[in-house]
Amino acid sequence: MAVKPLREGGPAARIAVIAGDGIGQEVTPESIKVIHAAMDSHSGSARRQIEFVELDWGADKFLREGITLPAGAVEMLANEFDAILFGALGDPRVPSNQHAAEILLGLRFKLDLFVNARPVELFHDRLTPLRDRTTNDIRFMVFRENTEGLYVGVGGFFKKDTPDEIAVQEDVNSRKGVERIIRHAFEYARQNKLKRVCMSDKSNAMTFAHDLWQRVFKQVRQEYPEIESRHLYIDTLAMEVVRDPRQFDVIVTCNLFGDIISDLGAQLAGGLGLAPSGNIHPGRTSLFEPVHGSAPNIAGKGIANPLGSILTSAMMLDFLGWTAEGNALRTAVRAALQENFVTPDLGGEKKTVEVGDWIAKRVGSR
Ligand SMILES: NC(=O)c1ccc[n+]([C@@H]2O[C@H](COP(=O)([O-])OP(=O)(O)OC[C@H]3O[C@@H](n4cnc5c(N)ncnc54)[C@H](O)[C@@H]3O)[C@@H](O)[C@H]2O)c1
């Protein structure tokens, strides 16, 4: 566990780093390098302090010691850290993916990280598969409910492994859970002076669970009269996001639909190598991770795209209240894409470390 000491002066943040498996180990150090460059570009009293504590949780530890989330881990993270910078989990040597599920889902649920924030922003026209769309057309935020729905693991089998087998998976929606994510979406719109919030469900078919979403949405939106609120069924939303993404500023939806629609959004904005996300509970320790997985097919080759992780770090800096630094990271990523200083997945030939160095230099010289 490498602990980087705090520097003198200025406000401080303490970050737990779980680089994890595969390319998580390659992209996360680039993020840390870039964050340090952003901090170092300040001088005097404006200088930020940030401390990174690396945690070796992942497949190697699981295979070696049988440990996924160590005892007391959740309390330690909640009490001693402001945020968690996460890489990726997933290793072919653990086909069950047990360690990944226990660590990532465990942290999402146990830290009550009810907001999954997935910004969709096109940084360069050439990166979208949509014809004639530009950077002006694709910019919206997806808020996915992150602690309930079909992902809570309530259900079971009846007559398992027989021809009469029945499998049941319950969709769990609490009034509190639905209300807090919808309210978060409206608050985000208000704070960022965005005009439109779209809530998406399937209340025509899911007549109990999504009836609750309907009722709560109608109630909460009354508190935000300046914001144009709209409802679309999820199937219609999927079509509309592709047909004309300009219609959307903020989308809020349940766990399953948010998982799918945010991946669709990621593709509209250049794919997995560029997509960031935050698992957030406002005011509490929150976890920031690139959307991509551990990519075992390219792990160890030094060619993973670090930009998704760097944009994730920008979200983390925003969360810490350091928006100038977050914006500096986004500006540098935009510049790298402009100059085509990119890894092979985006048609370039640069290495992970070269891209990280380029961004760090750019951020450091602002
Ligand atoms: N949050 C997470 O930790 C997370 C998310 C998704 C998948 N996974 C896990 O990751 C493992 C691999 O899953 P997968 O292959 O379905 O998804 P993946 O995201 O790892 O890879 C999908 C494809 O995208 C490419 N890719 C992904 N990120 C890239 C990057 N930064 N730069 C360049 N190319 C990139 C990969 O090479 C691969 O071809 C599995 O064990 C899976 O369970 C983890």
Helix (H) or strand (E) run with residue 240 in it: helix 234-243
Average pLDDT score over residue span 160-184: 98
First to last CA, the chain: 32
Atom 13 of ligand 1, residue of closest alpha carbon: 293
Span from the CA of 166 to the centroid of ligand 1 (angstroms): 31
Does the pLDDT of residue 47 top 90, yes or no? no
| DSSP type of residue 172 | B
Average pLDDT score over residue span 182-188: 98
Which residues does a 6 A CB cutoff place in the pocket of ligand 1? 23, 27, 88-90, 97, 100, 104, 272-273, 289, 292-298, 304-305, 308, 345
221-259 pLDDT, tens digit per residue, is 999 999 999 999 999 999 999 999 999 999 999 999 999
d(CA 84, CA 91): 21
d(CA 362, CA 274): 18
**8 A C-beta contact, residue 127 and residue 340:** no
Tokens 């649920």 map to which residue? 109
Average pLDDT score over residue span 263-279: 96
Backbone φ/ψ region at 200: left (φ over 0), alpha (ψ -120 to 50), beta: beta
**12: confidence class by pLDDT, cuts 50, 70, 90:** confident
298-344 pLDDT, tens digit per residue, is 999 999 999 999 999 999 999 999 999 999 999 999 999 999 999 99
**259 assigned to active site:** yes
pLDDT in the model for residue 46? 61
3-state secondary structure of 221: helix
Kindly report the average pLDDT of the chain as a whole number.
94
**57: confidence class by pLDDT, cuts 50, 70, 90:** very high
Span from the CA of 308 to the centroid of ligand 1 (angstroms): 12
**91 assigned to active site:** no
Which is the closest atom of ligand 1 to the Cα of 308? Answer: 31
Residue from 272, 274, 313, 333 to probe ligand 1 pocket by mutation (most atoms less than 8 Å from CB): 272
120-168 pLDDT, tens digit per residue, is 999 999 999 999 999 999 999 999 999 999 999 899 999 999 999 999 9
